[in-house]
């Protein structure tokens, strides 16, 4: 596992990113550079293109135009294999909790006896000790999301994309997930996360990206964004006004 000292911060650059569906422009970003080492929170109203941007960055969606580069090179399969993504609704395999983690570890080339120790370590990290043999799909919402995050972390990613991982979870479950994300960030995993929760963005974010109508409305360091927002969209968003 990477540790903080040897963390690498790949610079992700997006240029000319366009996605259009049924004549409607869903994503339209001329240039965007994501190079801060800390967690980046992507904020914005529904339909702003946050999740779409995340999927483009991770290569799950091919844009109609534009390119995503990492460290100056067009992002390829090798880069994408160094990334992982956690979805709003956790997608767990129909097997046990340990089975979900083993699925990834087996692909990572962990040999059988090392896998057991790594699974135990991951479960302890996520507070899921004692649930190894439980069917994953019988976990509560918060536990399921924690397992999805642990499974993503089991791939030892450089970049972890999270798409509203705590939506519809209670504060206690949210706290446990935020702790996992913060710990991963401290270990050097680059966090790029979509959230609707301004409080969460304040707690976790080092950089903020505000999106509106498929475009970037503002990109700033978190303290600056929350204290001196530059765009009107950001000011309205932070004051609780409707940003459409």
Q: What does the binding site for other proteins look like in residue numbers (CB under 8 A)?
A: 55, 58-60, 80-81, 83-85, 87, 91, 93-95, 103-104, 107, 135-139, 151-152, 155
Residue (72 or 109) nearer to other proteins, CB = 109
Shortest distance in whole angstroms from residue 241 CB to other proteins: 33
Name which of 24 and 94 has its Cβ closer to other proteins.
94
Q: Look-up: residue for tokens 């509560």? A: 140
Sheet with 73-74: list strands edge to edge.
24-34, 12-21, 65-70, 73-74
* Complex with other proteins: residue 139 or 201, whichever CB lies closer: 139
- Per the CB < 8 A criterion, the answer to whether 217 and 59 are in contact is no
- Which string of DSSP letters, residue by residue, matches 107-170? HTT--HHHHHHHHHHHHHHTT-TT-TTSBGGGS-HHHHHHHHHHHHHTT--SEEEEESTTTT--
State in angstroms the smallest separation of the CB of 87 from other proteins.
Answer: 7
In angstroms, give the least distance from the CB of 42 to other proteins.
17
Q: Tell me if 119 sits within 8 A of 98, measured CB to CB.
A: yes
Query: Which C-beta is closer to other proteins: that of 150 or that of 220?
Result: 150
Q: Which is nearer to other proteins, 39 or 90 (CB)?
A: 90
Smallest separation, CB 139 to other proteins (Å): 8
Note whether 19 and 61 are within 8 A (CB).
yes
Shortest separation between residue 198's beta carbon and other proteins, angstroms: 27
């Amino acid at each position: 596992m990477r540790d903080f000292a040897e963390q690498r911060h790949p610079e992700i650059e997006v240029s000319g990113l366009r996605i259009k569906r049924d004549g409607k422009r869903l994503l339209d970003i001329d240039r965007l550079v994501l190079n801060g080492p800390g967690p980046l929170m992507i904020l914005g109203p529904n339909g702003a293109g946050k999740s779409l941007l995340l999927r483009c960055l991770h290569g799950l969606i091919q844009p109609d135009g534009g390119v995503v580069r990492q460290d100056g090179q067009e992002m390829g399969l090798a880069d994408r294999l160094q990334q992982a993504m956690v979805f709003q609704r956790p997608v767990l395999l129909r097997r046990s909790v340990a089975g979900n983690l083993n699925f990834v570890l087996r692909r990572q080339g962990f040999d059988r006896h090392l896998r057991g120790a790594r699974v135990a370590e991951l479960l302890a990290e996520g507070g899921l000790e004692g649930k190894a043999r439980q069917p994953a799909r019988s976990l509560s919402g918060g536990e399921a999301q924690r397992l999805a995050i642990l499974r993503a972390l089991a791939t030892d990613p450089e970049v972890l994309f999270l798409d509203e991982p705590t939506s519809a979870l209670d504060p206690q479950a949210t706290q446990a997930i935020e702790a996992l994300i913060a710990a991963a960030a401290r270990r050097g995993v680059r966090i790029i996360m979509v959230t609707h929760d301004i409080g969460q963005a304040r707690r976790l974010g080092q950089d903020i990206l505000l999106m509106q109508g498929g475009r970037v409305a503002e990109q700033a360091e978190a303290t600056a964004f929350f204290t001196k927002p530059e765009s009107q969209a950001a000011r309205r968003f932070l004051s609780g006004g409707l940003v459409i």
